[in-house]
C-alpha cells in the first residue's frame, strides 16, 4: 500500500508512475487527499472540543467550590453537549478513515524507473538469454505424452480423485519432484537462506499483508467455515512471519526459503496453454523471501536474480530473463524479472520464476518496520522469488532431455533422484 506521505507530497508523480502500469490513478489520488483533509479537519475539531471540555470541567469545579451551583449545573449541560458532539465527531472520523483506507488499497504499487512501458506480455523486455539449444530426437513428444509413455504422471487419475489440474506423480515422476524440491532448498540454504516450513492455509490478514487480498480473491481457494485461504505461493505465509514486527538496524538481511504446495484456481484459463503441467491448480514451489533496508533492496534483487539464474544454468536448460513492462506487472510489484524456459517440443516459452522487489508496498500493509541508526522507525523493503516453481521445470526437463527410448536426468539431480534416466 502506498503511504499517505508519498501521495500527499507528490500526487502528480504518483499519477504519472501508475500510468506506466496503465492505471488511471487521478480520481483515487484526489479522493485520498480529500479524505485525508477531512480526517485532519475532524481531528482538529475534535482536539479543540476536548480542550474546551477540560476548561469547562475546571470551571465547574471552581463554581462548585464557590457554591454557585446553578451556574455549575448550566456548565455541566454544556459539557454534556460537548461530549455528544465529540461522540458524533468520532463516528464521522471512523467512517471517513474507513473510506480513506478503502481508497488507499485500490492503488497499486508504483513501478520502478527501469520498468519499460507496455500493455501486455508482448512488450516485456528480454534482458538476458542463456543455456544450450535442446537437441531432440526426430519424433520428440510433449511432456504430457512422455508422462503417459513412461507412467510417471497420471493426469486422468488426478481428474478422478479431484479434478483437472491436480495430477498424480508416480514412481520416478514422484521421485523427480522430491529431488527437485530438495535440490532447490539445498542450493538456497547454501546461499544463506534460512529454511522454514510455514502453514499452507492463511487468514485474511495474511492475504491482505502481501497484497493478495482484496485483489486476487477469484484466484484463491477459500475455506469458508474457518475463513482461511489456501496459499497461492509460499510468499504469503513466509513474508507474514514479519507482520507487525520492528527489526533492529543490525538484523539485515533477513533471508528465508520455504517449500509449499501452492493452490490457484486459475479462473479463465483454457486452451493449449493448460495442457499437462503447463497450468495447474495444485503445484509444488520453492520460494525465497528477503527483507532489506531500502538502500539495499536493489542490490538484493540483483543477487536474487543471479541466484535463480544459477539454478537454471545448473539444470542445463535454455532460458531467458524478462523485465516485465508496466502492463504485465502484478498489483504489488515495483519491478519484476520473469524467468522462462524454452520447450522445443511445444515450441513455446514456459514461465518458471518471478523475482520481484515490492519496495515498501507490502511492508506498509504488514506494518513491517525497522529502527534506523538514529532510532527512527522506517518501513522495510520486501522481495521474493520462485526458486523454482516445479511443474514447468519438470515439463522442460522431460521434453529437452528426451532421447531414443529414455529421458536423461541432469547430472546435478542424480544424487537426489538415485537414478540417471527414466525408461
- Looking at residue 420, the DSSP 8-state letter turns out to be S
C-alpha distances in Å from residue 21, one per residue of 9, 17, 28, 59, 392: 21, 8, 15, 59, 27
Question: Backbone phi, then psi, for 404, in 5-degree steps?
Answer: -75, 100
What is the model's pLDDT at position 60?
A: 83
DSSP 3-state of 372: coil
pLDDT tens-digit series, residues 14-61: 999 999 999 999 999 999 999 999 999 999 999 999 888 888 888 888
The domains found in the chain, sorted by start residue, are 4-104 (1.10.287.40), 121-422 (3.30.930.10)
pLDDT tens-digit series, residues 271-327: 556 789 999 999 999 999 999 999 999 999 999 999 999 999 999 999 999 999 999
Using CB atoms within 10 Å of the CB of residue 278, give its burial: 0 to 12 exposed, 13 to 18 middle, 19+ buried.
buried
Question: Backbone phi, then psi, for 30, in 5-degree steps?
Answer: -65, -40
C-alpha distances in Å from residue 314, one per residue of 131, 184, 319: 9, 11, 12
pTM exceeding the 0.85 threshold for the entire prediction: yes
Amino acid at each position: 500500500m502506498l503511504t499517505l506521505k508519498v501521495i500527499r507530497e507528490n500526487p502528480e508523480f504518483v499519477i504519472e508512475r501508475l500510468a506506466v502500469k496503465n492505471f488511471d490513478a487521478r480520481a483515487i489520488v484526489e479522493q485520498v487527499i480529500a479524505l485525508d483533509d477531512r480526517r485532519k479537519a475532524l481531528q482538529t475539531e475534535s482536539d479543540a472540543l476536548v480542550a474546551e471540555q477540560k476548561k469547562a470541567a475546571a470551571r465547574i469545579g471552581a463554581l462548585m467550590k464557590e457554591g454557585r451551583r446553578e451556574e455549575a449545573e448550566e456548565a455541566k449541560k454544556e459539557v454534556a453537549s460537548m461530549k455528544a458532539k465529540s461522540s458524533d465527531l468520532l463516528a464521522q472520523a471512523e467512517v471517513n478513515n474507513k473510506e480513506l483506507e478503502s481508497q488507499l488499497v485500490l492503488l497499486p504499487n508504483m513501478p520502478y524507473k527501469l520498468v519499460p512501458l507496455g500493455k501486455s506480455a508482448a512488450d516485456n523486455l528480454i534482458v538476458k538469454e542463456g543455456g544450450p539449444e535442446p537437441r531432440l530426437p526426430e519424433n520428440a513428444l510433449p511432456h504430457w505424452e512422455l508422462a503417459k509413455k513412461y507412467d510417471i504422471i497420471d493426469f486422468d487419475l488426478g481428474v478422478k480423485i479431484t479434478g483437472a489440474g491436480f495430477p498424480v506423480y508416480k514412481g520416478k515422476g514422484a521421485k523427480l519432484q522430491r529431488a527437485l524440491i530438495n535440490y532447490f532448498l539445498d542450493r538456497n540454504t547454501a546461499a544463506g537462506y534460512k529454511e522454514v516450513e510455514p502453514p499452507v492455509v492463511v487468514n485474511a490478514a495474511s492475504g491482505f499483508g502481501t497484497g493478495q487480498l482484496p485483489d486476487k480473491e477469484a484466484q484463491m481457494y477459500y475455506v469458508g467455515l474457518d475463513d482461511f485461504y489456501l496459499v497461492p505461493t509460499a510468499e504469503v505465509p513466509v513474508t507474514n512471519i514479519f507482520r507487525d514486527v520492528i527489526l533492529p538496524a543490525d538484523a539485515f538481511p533477513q533471508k528465508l526459503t520455504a517449500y509449499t504446495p501452492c493452490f490457484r484456481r486459475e479462473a479463465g484459463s483454457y486452451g493449449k496453454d493448460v495442457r499437462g503441467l503447463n497450468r495447474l491448480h495444485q503445484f509444488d514451489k520453492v520460494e525465497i523471501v528477503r527483507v532489506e533496508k531500502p538502500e539495499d533492496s536493489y542490490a538484493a534483487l540483483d543477487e536474487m536474480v543471479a541466484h535463480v539464474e544459477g539454478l537454471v544454468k545448473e539444470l542445463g536448460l535454455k532460458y531467458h530473463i524478462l523485465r516485465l513492462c508496466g502492463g504485465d506487472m502484478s498489483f504489488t510489484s515495483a519491478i519484476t524479472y520473469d524467468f522462462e524456459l524454452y520447450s522445443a517440443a511445444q515450441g513455446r516459452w514456459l514461465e518458471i520464476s518471478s523475482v520481484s522487489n515490492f519496495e515498501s508496498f507490502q511492508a506498509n500493509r504488514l506494518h513491517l518496520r525497522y529502527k534506523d541508526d538514529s532510532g527512527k522507525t522506517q518501513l522495510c523493503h520486501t522481495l521474493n522469488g520462485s526458486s523454482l516453481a516445479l511443474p514447468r521445470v519438470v515439463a522442460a526437463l522431460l521434453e529437452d532431455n528426451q532421447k531414443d527410448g529414455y529421458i536423461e536426468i541432469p547430472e546435478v539431480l542424480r544424487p537426489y533422484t538415485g537414478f540417471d534416466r527414466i525408461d
